[in-house]
A and B are shown apart, each in its own frame.
Chain A
């Protein structure tokens, strides 16, 4: 019956879509409460901290605040304690993240295979992450690492190390042991998610192509895991740079400030020394440090993981 030849191409203006703009505000409304709340509670304090860092102010002497410009920052950079704690922060962060990631990858590889009781082992392995940080620190400080009565020393007795005062001799190290214990499950879970998201048929294809397990791991698995490892490292770094609870509970930063990181040091300045200005300046420095790391994190999360597709 009807046969239609393709129409000649002539430009025809498309009708504008009017409803979109009106609906815009209706769409934005559900956002606003959460957004406004967050802006007020989180942004204002930072702006104020920035302001405080430009003033000299001791909480002990009310009304003593006065503008000093960048003097606080100069004091901070001249302060050897600042550099020591900054160094501690870096050592603690890098050390914890690296070791936790290495162990985490190993554990994830184990958990990726089927074996009897895998679910139980997984539950056991994630438990350290769930323990309240101050409780974990408490346990490590007393029951585990105590010089005389800790179980670690007991277990090391056959190796000749009987009575070792971990917290005095290795304060930073002891804190790191606690942190590594707590954060390895986090790394493991991320890497495990990465392993489980790898399509099995690709591995089977490689195996049929004659690749040995080690080669498959190196050529296929590791590149696939890269973005998960990166995410773990960056997120872990952000959290651990700001670690506070463990230090407070285990060593109070001591002996001296040998196990204090920047956040703890700032805390001491504010609540024990009541020096707001300098503490604020140090706080700003920590913020800048974190922003640098966070930029990497954000780029990672958005670039590789932007889950914007809707499932069919």
Chain B
């Protein structure tokens, strides 16, 4: 129930008006249009992923057909097939290569980034330049010697070959990302710790690491994404023992032929971990992709 506005005049001859009614401003209308277009775009872009997941729950008859079914009763049979077709060793290899290489990357990159940010060395710019440049050179040009070296060292089809290569692959990104996080630590904080008598080791552990911990996590997540998805090294340097999930996918097609629902299930299993990781680390993706240049 609306209270009626009390119209009183302070002095004769000086009227005060009742409050004007609130009018929906034009701005709100614009944002609705923006919202609608944005949602449409979001759905369009997400559609292939959605369709992949939906298809994975269909029977082959429902999937491999002229007229796509939107309503259907889902089945887990495709997933059962995928998991019984020997995907587990591939998953294990991927997990191993991803986790171990990411741990190595963090162990190497964190002190390196620390040295390049909080205790700058004279050649800081040169070192940074060098790290980025390694990321920009095409790996296809390096694969020949790497393959030959791996072959001669009997490291072909060895998961540790991938671990080493993934570490080298992610190191530049990690160094740049961690550096950008270290640079965000306020200088005064370090000075306060120094005045409080903290030696370098304690300063790092008690003051700096807690502040950059979220950055560390984000960097780790980004490295995991790139390592998990990596295909080129995996397909050229592994065969049966050390093959990872991307290689499995490729093999799955050729051995199973074009069975859409199965393929969709395999693809979903392969991509799900990274999609989830990416959703969690969304904000940090930009930083990683732009070498820490953009927050």
Interface centre among A24, A45, A262 (most CB of B within 10 A): A45
Chain B residues with Cβ below 8 Å from A185 are 45
Chain A residues with Cβ below 8 Å from B172 are 38
Is B38 a contact partner of A115 (Cβ separation < 8 A)? yes
Number of chain B residues whose Cβ lies closer than 8 Å to a Cβ of chain A: 102
- CA–CA, A123 and B49, complex, Å: 12
Of the candidates A110, A118, A146, A149, the one whose C-beta lies within 8 Å of that of B37 is A110
Of chain A, the residue at the smallest CB distance from B200 is: A26
Of chain B, the residue at the smallest CB distance from A194 is: B294
- CA–CA, A134 and B136, complex, Å: 21
Report if A311-B186 is in contact (Cβ < 8 Å); known contacts: A113-B34, A128-B48, A283-B144. yes
Number of chain A residues whose Cβ lies closer than 8 Å to a Cβ of chain B: 105
- Determine if A171 is an interface residue (Cβ-Cβ < 8 Å): no
Min distance, Cβ A75 to any Cβ of chain B, angstroms: 16
Of the candidates B144, B145, B278, the one whose C-beta lies within 8 Å of that of A127 is B278
Is A143 a contact partner of B45 (Cβ separation < 8 A)? no
Chain A residues with Cβ below 8 Å from B183 are 307-311
Min distance, Cβ A272 to any Cβ of chain B, angstroms: 11
Is B39 a contact partner of A117 (Cβ separation < 8 A)? yes
Is A134 a contact partner of B131 (Cβ separation < 8 A)? no
Chain A residues with Cβ below 8 Å from B277 are 130
- Determine if A263 is an interface residue (Cβ-Cβ < 8 Å): yes
Chain A residues with Cβ below 8 Å from B116 are 31
Of the candidates A24, A34, A184, A279, the one whose C-beta lies within 8 Å of that of B112 is A34
- Determine if A30 is an interface residue (Cβ-Cβ < 8 Å): yes
Instruction: Mark the stretch among A9-17, A76-84, A90-98, A297-305 that contacts chain B.
Output: A297-305
Report if A133-B231 is in contact (Cβ < 8 Å); known contacts: A28-B115, A124-B45, A294-B136. yes
- CA–CA, A130 and B228, complex, Å: 11
- Determine if B209 is an interface residue (Cβ-Cβ < 8 Å): no
Is B231 a contact partner of A143 (Cβ separation < 8 A)? no
Interface residues of B in 121-156 (CB under 8 A from A): 121, 125, 127, 129-134, 136-147, 149
What 1/0 flags go to B153-171 for Cβ under 8 Å of A?
A: 0000000000011011001
Interface residues of A in 178-198 (CB under 8 A from B): 181, 184-186, 189-190, 192-194, 197
A interface, over-half SS: helix
What 1/0 flags go to A257-298 for Cβ under 8 Å of B?
A: 000001100110011000010011001101100110110011
Chain A residues with Cβ below 8 Å from B39 are 117, 121
Is B145 a contact partner of A287 (Cβ separation < 8 A)? no
Report if A48-B263 is in contact (Cβ < 8 Å); known contacts: A35-B127, A193-B295. no
Is A123 a contact partner of B31 (Cβ separation < 8 A)? no
What 1/0 flags go to A111-125 for Cβ under 8 Å of B?
A: 101111110111111
- CA–CA, A297 and B236, complex, Å: 29
Min distance, Cβ A153 to any Cβ of chain B, angstroms: 9
- Determine if B271 is an interface residue (Cβ-Cβ < 8 Å): yes
Is B225 a contact partner of A130 (Cβ separation < 8 A)? yes
Is B55 a contact partner of A143 (Cβ separation < 8 A)? yes
Interface centre among A42, A142, A298 (most CB of B within 10 A): A42
- CA–CA, A280 and B146, complex, Å: 12
- Determine if B290 is an interface residue (Cβ-Cβ < 8 Å): yes
- CA–CA, A35 and B115, complex, Å: 12
Report if A37-B171 is in contact (Cβ < 8 Å); known contacts: A49-B141, A297-B136. yes
- CA–CA, A99 and B96, complex, Å: 37
- Determine if B258 is an interface residue (Cβ-Cβ < 8 Å): yes
Of chain B, the residue at the smallest CB distance from A193 is: B294
Is A121 a contact partner of B42 (Cβ separation < 8 A)? yes
- Determine if A144 is an interface residue (Cβ-Cβ < 8 Å): yes
Min distance, Cβ B180 to any Cβ of chain A, angstroms: 6
- Determine if B267 is an interface residue (Cβ-Cβ < 8 Å): yes
- Determine if B83 is an interface residue (Cβ-Cβ < 8 Å): no
Min distance, Cβ B223 to any Cβ of chain A, angstroms: 13
- Determine if B213 is an interface residue (Cβ-Cβ < 8 Å): no
Report if A287-B137 is in contact (Cβ < 8 Å); known contacts: A33-B111, A133-B229, A149-B64. yes
Report if A42-B108 is in contact (Cβ < 8 Å); known contacts: A28-B121, A294-B133. no
Chain B residues with Cβ below 8 Å from A67 are none
Of chain A, the residue at the smallest CB distance from B32 is: A115
Is B125 a contact partner of A302 (Cβ separation < 8 A)? yes
Is A135 a contact partner of B145 (Cβ separation < 8 A)? no
Is B231 a contact partner of A283 (Cβ separation < 8 A)? no
Instruction: Mark the stretch among B6-14, B18-26, B71-79, B281-289 that contacts chain A.
Output: B281-289
Report if A245-B246 is in contact (Cβ < 8 Å); known contacts: A143-B55, A290-B136. yes
Of the candidates A123, A144, A231, the one whose C-beta lies within 8 Å of that of B290 is A231
- CA–CA, A305 and B34, complex, Å: 31
- CA–CA, A310 and B282, complex, Å: 24
* Pairs A–B under 8 Å by Cβ, sample size 22: A33-B108, A34-B171, A35-B130, A38-B168, A41-B165, A45-B144, A46-B142, A122-B282, A128-B46, A130-B275, A130-B279, A132-B231, A132-B245, A136-B271, A138-B253, A149-B260, A279-B144, A305-B293, A307-B292, A310-B183, A312-B186, A312-B187
